[in-house]
């Protein structure tokens, strides 16, 4: 049967009685199999030369494009006790709506009239400052008045000094005249005395001349006393002038010292006013912190603190809120080896969790269920997971991302790079080489122009 020897089974066995031999005799298996392998080989060779888009695949999550649009927690700025809740989880709130009311627990702020009392103290100190200011103005006026009075007094004393000096001059001249008269009278007396001794003059004439001499001598003595008195008046005028100057200088110094003391008190009061103003503003602002308000429109997601009567510290997270107005973005993480291949405005294909997709990573044009995006930001520092964070936004002109996507959902991203043949991509993958670094040369030339 196998034609191993010269004995041929053909003709000795009736193969028509065996169905298996009939089926085998109808097939030409070897030729068909060879043709099939050849066909597959040709198809495989053709596929190797088809274009393939290099890509970087990574996993990320959905977030908001702007930091202010991302989920946030509302913190208590002051320590307090929870008194009343005004919202519940899942509720929509507008900006400024009251979320929670807390009461004071610190002993420094327990007084319900703290703001009013501080305001009263502030007004009192402001009145004190005004009083000190008025007193300082009065001191200035008093100093000006003393200066003017001193000027008048000094002028009066100087005039008196001038008069005294003029009187000294006059008395000096009178004294000189009296001395001349006394000298003349003495000479006349001496002549009359000699003539009386010679018998030429009578005793009456002699006594008359002697009396005249005594009178002139008395006038000299009187004029000397008057002259000395005038000189003493000059000295008294000088002393009075110095006394007036010293007296008013002392009065002005005391008034200035009083003024400076008043100014010092006024400055202390002004410092206290500033301190009370700060306290008043702080207390007023703090009283407004007892009601925690919604910072923007959004939905209450989770109450981190619950119950009534619980105490919270400063900065404690109270509740989390999700803004209602936001622009979606994808936060993907890329290996450090692939970061040089990325740049802003680079196209990205995204598959969101919950949206089934048929993905052909090498042929993005025929993928189904993926959405287009573009890179808007690339971090310059590595994240905690050892990769670099890349932010992707919705691409203008492309299919809109589903509105049902929630922030925090997962997303698979495909970053499109250079188109290469399939055989080159296989060779690269086998050798573990990174994708080719590629940039659009035409766009660079246009930028330079």
Over the stretch 46-99, which tens digit does the pLDDT of each residue have?
A: 877 777 666 777 888 898 888 888 888 988 888 889 999 999 888 999 998 999
pLDDT at 161: 82
In angstroms, the CA 35 to CA 48 distance is: 20
Task: List the structure tokens of 52.
Answer: 């393939």
395 — phi, psi (to 5°)?
-85, 135
Residue 328 has pLDDT above 80, yes or no: yes
Residue 381 has pLDDT above 60, yes or no: yes
Query: Higher model confidence: residue 321 or residue 288?
Result: 321
pTM: predicted TM-score of the whole model, two decimal places:
0.55
In angstroms, the CA 268 to CA 285 distance is: 26
The single-letter DSSP state of residue 306 is -
Of 116, 87, 24, residue with least CA distance to 301: 87
Question: What is the arithmetic mean of pLDDT over 320-348?
Answer: 86
Query: Higher model confidence: residue 187 or residue 434?
Result: 187
What stretches of 199-296 show up as alpha helix (H) in DSSP? 203-288
Residue 439 has pLDDT above 50, yes or no: no
Where is 98: in which H helix or E strand?
strand 98-104
Question: What is the arithmetic mean of pLDDT over 97-122?
Answer: 87
Question: What is the arithmetic mean of pLDDT over 187-215?
Answer: 78
CB atoms closer than 10 angstroms to residue 138:
14
C-alpha distances (whole Å) from 408 to each of 74, 90, 304 are 19, 17, 19
C-alpha distances (whole Å) from 209 to each of 175, 195, 196, 205, 217 are 21, 12, 11, 6, 12
Least confident segment among 182-196, 318-332, 350-364, 377-391: 350-364
Residue 18 has pLDDT above 80, yes or no: no
Residue 448 has pLDDT above 80, yes or no: no
Mean pLDDT of the chain: 81
pLDDT at 3: 53
Of 394, 415, 440, 413, residue with least CA distance to 352: 413
Q: What is the three-class DSSP state of 376? A: strand
pLDDT at 12: 58
pLDDT at 441: 43
CB atoms closer than 10 angstroms to residue 118:
19
pLDDT at 358: 55
Query: Higher model confidence: residue 103 or residue 359?
Result: 103
Q: Are 357 and 57 in contact (CB under 8 A)?
A: no
CATH number of 114-288: 1.10.287.620
pLDDT at 440: 45
Query: Higher model confidence: residue 78 or residue 193?
Result: 78
pLDDT at 17: 61
| Residues near 141 by beta carbon (within 8 Å), at least 6 away in sequence | none
Residue 30 has pLDDT above 70, yes or no: no
| Residues near 269 by beta carbon (within 8 Å), at least 6 away in sequence | 125, 128, 129, 132
CATH number of 71-97+294-323: 2.40.50.100
User: What pLDDT, in 10s, does the model give residues 151-169?
Assistant: 888 888 888 888 888 888 8
Confidence band, pLDDT 50/70/90 cuts, at residue 370:
confident
Query: Higher model confidence: residue 333 or residue 422?
Result: 333
In angstroms, the CA 407 to CA 400 distance is: 16
Question: What is the arithmetic mean of pLDDT over 393-403?
Answer: 85
Residue 14 has pLDDT above 70, yes or no: no
Residue 119 has pLDDT above 80, yes or no: yes
Residue 141 has pLDDT above 60, yes or no: yes
In angstroms, the CA 340 to CA 417 distance is: 12
Least confident segment among 226-240, 248-262, 411-425: 411-425
396 — phi, psi (to 5°)?
-70, 135
The angle subtended at Cα 439 by Cα 334 and Cα 400, nearest 5°, is: 60
Q: Please identify, in words, the CATH class of the domain defined by 52-68+326-448.
A: mainly beta
Where is 202: in which H helix or E strand?
none
Same fold, 71-97+294-323 and 114-288: no
C-alpha distances (whole Å) from 410 to each of 283, 332, 355 are 46, 10, 11
Task: List the structure tokens of 179.
Answer: 């001395």
Question: What is the arithmetic mean of pLDDT over 19-38?
Answer: 66
Query: Higher model confidence: residue 239 or residue 55?
Result: 239
Confidence band, pLDDT 50/70/90 cuts, at residue 391:
very high
Question: What is the arithmetic mean of pLDDT over 183-198?
Answer: 79
Ordered by start, the domain boundaries in the chain are 1-48, 52-68+326-448, 71-97+294-323, 114-288
User: What pLDDT, in 10s, does the model give residues 247-289?
Assistant: 888 988 999 899 899 999 999 989 999 998 998 888 888 888 8
């Amino acid at each position: 049967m196998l034609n191993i020897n010269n004995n041929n089974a053909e003709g000795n066995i009736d193969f028509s009685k065996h169905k298996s031999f009939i089926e085998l005799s109808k097939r030409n298996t070897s030729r068909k199999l060879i043709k099939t392998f050849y066909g597959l080989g040709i198809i495989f060779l053709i596929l190797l030369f088809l274009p393939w888009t290099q890509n970087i695949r990574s996993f990320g999550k959905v977030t908001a494009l702007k930091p202010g649009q991302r989920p946030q927690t509302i913190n208590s700025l002051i320590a307090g006790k929870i008194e009343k809740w005004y919202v519940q989880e899942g509720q929509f709130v507008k900006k400024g709506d009251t979320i929670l009311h807390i009461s004071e627990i610190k002993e420094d702020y327990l007084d319900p009239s703290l703001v009013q009392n501080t305001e009263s103290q502030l007004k009192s100190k402001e009145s004190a400052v005004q009083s000190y200011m008025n007193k300082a103005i009065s001191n200035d006026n008093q100093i000006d008045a003393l200066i003017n009075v001193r000027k008048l007094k000094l002028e009066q004393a100087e005039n008196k000094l001038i008069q005294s000096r003029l009187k000294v001059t006059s008395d000096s001249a009178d004294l000189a005249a009296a001395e001349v008269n006394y000298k003349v009278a003495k000479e006349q007396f001496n002549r009359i005395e000699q003539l009386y001794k010679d018998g030429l003059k009578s005793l009456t004439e002699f006594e008359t001349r002697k009396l005249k001499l005594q009178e002139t001598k008395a006038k000299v003595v009187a004029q000397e006393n008057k002259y000395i008195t005038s000189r003493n008046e000059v000295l008294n005028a000088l002393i009075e002038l110095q006394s007036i100057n010293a007296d008013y200088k002392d009065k002005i110094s005391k008034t200035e010292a009083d003024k400076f003391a008043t100014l010092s008190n006024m400055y202390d009061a002004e410092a206290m006013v500033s301190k009370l103003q700060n306290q008043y503003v702080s207390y007023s602002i703090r009283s407004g912190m007892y009601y925690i308000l919604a910072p923007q429109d959004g939905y209450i997601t989770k109450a981190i603190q619950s119950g009534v009567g619980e105490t919270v510290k400063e900065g404690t997270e109270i509740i989390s809120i999700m803004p209602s107005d936001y622009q979606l973005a994808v936060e993907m993480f890329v290996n450090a080896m692939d970061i040089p291949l990325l740049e802003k405005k680079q196209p990205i294909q995204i598959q969101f969790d919950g949206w089934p997709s048929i993905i052909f990573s090498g042929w993005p044009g025929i993928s189904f269920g993926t959405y287009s995006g573009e890179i808007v930001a690339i971090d310059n520092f590595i994240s905690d997971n050892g990769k670099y964070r890349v932010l992707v936004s919705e691409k203008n002109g492309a299919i809109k991302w589903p509105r049902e996507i929630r922030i925090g959902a997962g997303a698979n991203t495909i970053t499109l790079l250079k188109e290469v043949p399939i055989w080159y991509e296989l060779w690269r993958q086998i050798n573990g080489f990174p994708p080719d670094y590629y940039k659009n040369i035409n766009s660079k030339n246009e930028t330079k122009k």
